[in-house]
A and B are shown apart, each in its own frame.
Chain A
Amino acid sequence: MTDTSEAPSGATRSIDIDVDAGPLVGDHRVVLRALSWFPDLLVESDSDSPEYLDLSYSFEPRLTEEERMSSFPWKVWELQVDDDLGTDYDASTGGLGPGGGDREIHPAPPTGAASLTLSVGTPSVSPAGDYRVSQVVKQILVDLRTGRVAVLDPARG
């Protein structure tokens, strides 16, 4: 675990990811930066995991002003999150700006989880606005105990 400048303020801990997922959003590469833990102030008090994760990323190159102001769905790449305990994660929300953004992952992994797999997929909508089936292009295995990060071959599952 590290404290990193990539982590948004308010994060309690962070793991550097630094994986280039390739040109997912039009011609813009998505570079995953860091996985950070945040206290979840909106979660119900009976939850045993009152935290959530935040995966920050950047666009390389940045979106143009025209792209920033264009319709939204083509800029949102897919993210599936799994752990070794089979926890059900919700990664459907996030923030997005011209230089990149972040994805919220609810909840944070339970204390017994040893690893987290981030499956990164193409957006479900093309820049032209056409629907398409998302394809997983990169899988990242995060060791939650050591903070080590490994890139898996999605073709091997």
Chain B
Amino acid sequence: MIRRGSSRTKYPTLCWHMRMLLLALSVTGTLIVPGAHAASALPAPAGPPQTAFPTFQSCDNAYDQTGVGGAGVGQVAAVGNGVYSFSISFNADFNADFIAAHPPTTDFVWGDARIFVNRSYAFSISTGHPRPISEAFHSHIQLQGHRYGPRNHKRIRRNDLLTFRISLLLIDPVSGTFYPGHGTISCRL
């Protein structure tokens, strides 16, 4: 059944950034100074107050406005029994306006979503290894009933407000340029 291992979802922020750098090094074999080669190619994060969506869209078919044209790169959809599909994929707007403007060798190096429940951090989901940019990253999550919080005392319940904060890292391996991206999905379970 679909479960998230707690060991993969809790780590200090500093440690997380160090591991992200290691991941980048493992891909390129090149030392990347954060910010030095990173191009700000994707729009800034679109938080809930900045979106055109109703404040609380349903978590069944919820999406963000990241990317060009506001079509979003992240989506949450119910698949039954409290299980939800979370996916990060690059839509037609994104393909036309972003990918077309960059080398076709650009890979989808890494994606991560930190999930907040009623504005409290609950857990995270990360990609394991680089994928072609034509692929989507997906995860099935047992959201309803998912334990979180100190000593896992809380459970996610219907009507909770969930926020998926998405971070992306795309790379052109030829030039070694990284393109960071962000997005936010807010929805009511």
Contacts and interface: CB of A to CB of B under 8 A. Distances in A.
Interface of A: 8-10, 38-44, 47, 52, 54, 69, 71-73, 76, 80, 88, 90, 92-98, 101-102, 104, 106-107, 124-125, 131
Contacts of A39: 26
Interface centre among B10, B92, B132, B140 (most CB of A within 10 A): B140
B166 interface: no
Contacts, number: 107
A131 B7 contact: no
B158 interface: no
A107 B6 CA distance: 12
Interface residues of B, number: 42
B185 interface: no
B3 A90 contact: yes
Contact of B8 (A43, A88, A124): A43
Interface string B134-150: 11111111000000000
Interface centre among B4, B128, B136, B141 (most CB of A within 10 A): B128
Given A41-B22, A76-B138, A96-B138, A125 B79 contact: yes
B129 A73 contact: no
Contacts of B16: 42
